[in-house]
């Protein structure tokens, strides 16, 4: 139950491919994110927040709908969200004005849908997935913004001129997607008056192409790296992890030679630059809240749909079950509960976001949701100390890359993972080498204990937890006997 004087607003900000350790509140003192730091300083900061699946569309279905990917029927990228699956915008009362701003990646990319009556589209890369050819005549609001400012499309898609992502990312800062989104979100907030709103702001950055106006903002040689940086997985790691690492450690990506330390660091520096770019955009939105007098009546969430390896274990991208890929930042600011930073220990999953937010807003929580409200944790009446989280991988992520024919078969193998309350991770697949990691003693996941006879009982216990979760959620992916 909320304690706001009137219906609270919800500002739901999420990025694409931002790992947890890109913020000061998660230990990164090198990166420049003053606006996110200021938000974290007055928010609940979840130490161990996990996605439902480490790739865009399935994760977004969970974040917006409160369902696991297999239940939402979005098992992989570029699968549209079914019409009968509700987002949070369809669950709140009709008093709310709901706006979606940015990347959707759940079908019909740039058109209002699923309870969001206002829409600021930014992506023209998914036009081939529109539900009808008639929709190909339309392009995103960001496209028209660039044209209005004198830029000319450099590519073609479905019969229309569009801007490629590389050209979009090469824009000067005022013309970047991030800056555009911050401006449009600020305009929406300032125009709302007393009408309550749900505003979702979904950034593409720091997703590839790993370039932007702040490419030179960080010195690659000075970037902090951990013990897993450029370290190949052990011989008994999954085939998926070993093949991905072997591929990337001998490749050239984004113009950099990933056979070298310098190449990896250069990509990481660009990645950090795009996180800072997001921070500047978020600053515009937070300023609009303050200027409009709505800051004290607005719940703010900041998270990401999945992480990014950026060289850890020799891998670039997501789609794996390593912590860098599945663990993300999660901040929740609730003005009436706290204006100081409070670290929340234990594990939490994105599956709990929608019920928690509905509860905070004083809205009813539908029975079909698969997570639970964590307001009692925010109130101090409960903890996450006993909470297991479950992660899935269903099949190829829908993004085959040139030269990766040997990678995609490994990616097509389903996985189910549990991260237990006592911080052990079990990754199970019926067609690959399974993995067991001790996140307490080995947080960088360098030792796979799955074949250790002394861990048999632990493996059995964790496998039983996964199977019980499968029963509860009607997940029918076959798993190996252990």
> Does the structure show a pLDDT above 80 at 395?
no
> Does the structure show a pLDDT above 50 at 400?
no
DSSP states along 384-413: STT--EEEEE-S--S---TT-TTTHHHHTS
Please count the other Cβ atoms lying within 10 Å of the Cβ belonging to residue 234.
14
**What average pLDDT score do residues 323-334 get?**
98
- Span 136-180, pLDDT tens digits: 999 999 999 999 999 999 999 999 999 999 999 999 999 999 999
> Does the structure show a pLDDT above 90 at 409?
no
* Exposed e or buried b per residue across 253-292, where buried means at least 16 C-beta atoms within 10 angstroms of its C-beta: beebebeeeebbbbbbbbbbbbbbbbbbbbbbbbebbeee
Which pLDDT value is given to residue 406? 53
| E strands in 229-297 | 252-253, 256-257
Q: How far is the first Cα of the chain from the last one, in angstroms, to the nearest whole number? A: 44
- Span 224-270, pLDDT tens digits: 999 999 999 999 999 999 999 999 999 998 889 999 999 999 999 99
Strand pairing report for 298-304 and 9-15: parallel
Asked if residues 28 and 272 have their Cβ atoms less than 8 Å apart, the reply is no
Give the C-alpha distances (Å, rounded to integers) separating 410 from 44, 69, 406, 434: 38, 20, 8, 13
> Does the structure show a pLDDT above 80 at 207?
yes
Which pLDDT value is given to residue 193? 80
Asked if residues 89 and 114 have their Cβ atoms less than 8 Å apart, the reply is yes
Specify whether the backbone of 193 is left (phi greater than 0), alpha (psi in -120 to 50) or beta. left
* SS3 call for 453: helix
Asked if residues 324 and 307 have their Cβ atoms less than 8 Å apart, the reply is yes
Which pLDDT value is given to residue 408? 62
Asked if residues 305 and 17 have their Cβ atoms less than 8 Å apart, the reply is yes
Domains, the chain, in order of start with CATH, read 9-230+257-384 (3.40.720.10)
Local confidence band at 402 (pLDDT 50, 70, 90 cut-offs): very low
- Please give the share of the chain, as a percent, with pLDDT higher than 90: 93
For residue 461, which phi and psi values (nearest 5 degrees)?
-65, -45
Specify whether the backbone of 241 is left (phi greater than 0), alpha (psi in -120 to 50) or beta. alpha
| Nearest residue to 390 (alpha-carbon basis) of 344, 421, 436 | 421
Tokens encoding 424: 């052990």
- Span 433-480, pLDDT tens digits: 999 999 999 999 999 999 999 999 999 999 999 999 999 999 999 999
Angle between helices 177-190 and 141-148 (to 10 degrees): 100
List CB contacts of 205: < 8 A, sequence separation 6 or more.
Answer: 15, 16, 177, 178, 212, 274, 275, 277, 278
């Amino acid at each position: 139950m909320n304690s706001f004087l009137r219906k609270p607003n919800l500002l739901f900000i999420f990025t694409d491919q931002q790992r947890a350790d890109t913020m000061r509140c998660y230990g990164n003192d090198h990166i420049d994110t003053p606006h996110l730091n200021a938000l974290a300083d007055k928010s609940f900061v979840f130490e161990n927040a996990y996605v439902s699946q480490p790739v865009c569309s399935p994760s977004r279905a969970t974040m917006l709908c409160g369902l696991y990917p297999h239940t939402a029927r979005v098992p992989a990228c570029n699968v549209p969200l079914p019409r009968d699956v509700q987002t949070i915008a369809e669950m709140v009362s009709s008093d709310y004005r709901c706006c979606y701003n940015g990347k959707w990646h759940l079908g019909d990319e740039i058109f209002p849908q699923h309870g969001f009556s206002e829409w600021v589209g930014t992506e023209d890369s998914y036009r081939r997935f529109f539900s009808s050819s008639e929709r190909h005549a339309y392009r995103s609001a960001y496209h028209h913004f660039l044209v209005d400012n004198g830029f000319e499309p450099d590519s073609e898609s479905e019969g229309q001129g569009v801007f490629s992502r590389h050209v979009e990312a090469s824009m000067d800062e005022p013309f970047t997607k991030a800056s555009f989104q911050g401006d449009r979100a600020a305009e929406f907030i300032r125009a709302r008056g007393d009408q309550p709103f749900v505003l979702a702001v979904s950034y593409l950055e720091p997703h590839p192409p790993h370039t932007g106006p702040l490419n030179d903002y960080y010195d690659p040689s000075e970037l902090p790296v951990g013990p897993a940086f450029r370290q190949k997985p052990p011989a008994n790691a999954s085939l998926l992890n070993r093949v991905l690492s072997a591929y990337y450690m001998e490749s050239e990506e984004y113009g950099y030679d990933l056979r070298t330390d310098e190449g990896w660091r250069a990509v990481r520096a660009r990645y950090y630059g795009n996180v800072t770019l997001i921070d500047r955009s978020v600053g515009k939105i937070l300023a609009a809240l303050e200027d409009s007098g709505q800051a004290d009546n607005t719940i703010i969430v900041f998270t990401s749909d999945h992480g990014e390896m950026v060289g850890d274990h020799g891998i670039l991208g997501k789609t794996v079950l390593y912590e860098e890929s599945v663990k993300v930042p999660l901040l929740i600011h609730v003005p009436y509960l706290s204006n100081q930073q409070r670290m929340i220990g234990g594990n939490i999953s994105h599956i709990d976001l929608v019920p928690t937010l509905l509860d905070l807003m004083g809205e009813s929580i539908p029975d079909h949701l698969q997570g639970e409200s964590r307001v009692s944790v925010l109130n101090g009446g409960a903890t996450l100390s006993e909470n297991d989280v479950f992660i899935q991988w269903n099949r190829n992520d829908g993004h085959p890359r040139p030269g990766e024919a040997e990678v995609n078969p490994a990616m097509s193998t389903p996985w189910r993972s549990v991260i237990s309350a006592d911080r052990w991770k079990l990754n199970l697949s019926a067609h690959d080498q399974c993995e067991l990691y001790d996140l307490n003693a080995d947080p960088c996941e360098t030792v796979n204990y799955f074949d250790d006879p002394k861990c048999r009982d632990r493996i059995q216990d964790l496998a039983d937890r996964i199977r019980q979760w499968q029963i509860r959620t009607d997940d029918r992916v076959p798993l190996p006997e252990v």
